[in-house]
Amino acid sequence: MNTEFRQICPLCHSEETQLFYQKIKSFYQCQPCSGIFMDKNQRLTEADELNRYNIHQNDVHDLKYQNFVSPITSAIRRDFNTSHQGLDFGAGPGPVITKVLRDHDYKVVMYDPFYHNHPEVLDAKYDYIACCEVIEHFYNPDTEFLRLKNLLRSNGKLYCMTYLYHDNINFDAWYYKNDPTHVFIYCAETIEWIKNHFGFSSVTIDHRLITFDF
């Protein structure tokens, strides 16, 4: 790894970062938390980011889309019942998690800074939070994970879904890093760092599904 160029990690704020990959975009890796993040100077503008999200054709009635989010919706239905209160954080233009859970009489509210910008829902506490294909978009994962932890009630769960990087992945050919809105990529070590730093009692990684317990 090239040590000539460094940026401060947006998760753990370490300066122990190294240039990890450089082609059309530059990515750095943090040594303490193992997070991989895009060069902050290459991020999209807010308008371009929104335009990128607007091209997503996510129909909440599409069974394939419902199946894609089923690791989260199935886990929530297994762990909680309709008396519990949930938050779909980063629900996006096609809030399929909310649709599936509400179809089963679950009480879920939505928040998204672009599509469901209702900051009042962030003043409440929740038994569970769904965060599907969202955490890789965090410009400031430090403040976002702190906020998510503080939104949970005691014994609550935070369900995240993303693709983790590991050494067997050819980063150059990996499609996941090519999305210009994917600015922070996690490794298993990063997830463990988040669990320890933010005071979650445990974390479980099951393929794409990551479950933090409070």
70-79 vs 96-103: helix crossing angle, rounded to 10 = 40
Q: Give the three-class secondary structure for 50.
A: helix
- At residue 57 the predicted structure's pLDDT band, cuts being 50, 70 and 90, is low
- 197 pLDDT exceeds 70? yes
pLDDT tens for each residue of 90-104 = 999 999 999 999 999
- pLDDT average, residue stretch 140-147: 98
CB–CB of 108/95 below 8 Å? no
The domain made up of 17-213 is a member of CATH 3.40.50.1980 = no
CB–CB of 186/33 below 8 Å? no
pTM: 0.94
Angle subtended at Cα 160 by Cα 20 and Cα 14, rounded to the nearest 5 degrees: 35
The pLDDT value recorded for residue 2 is 45
Say how many residues make up the chain: 214
Q: How far apart (Å, rounded) are the C-alpha atoms in residues 27 and 37?
A: 5
Buried b (16+ CB within 10 A) or exposed e, 15-42: eebebbbeeeebbbbbebbbbbbbeeee
Domain extents in the chain: 17-213
Burial class (CB in 10 A: 0-12, 13-18, 19+), 211: buried
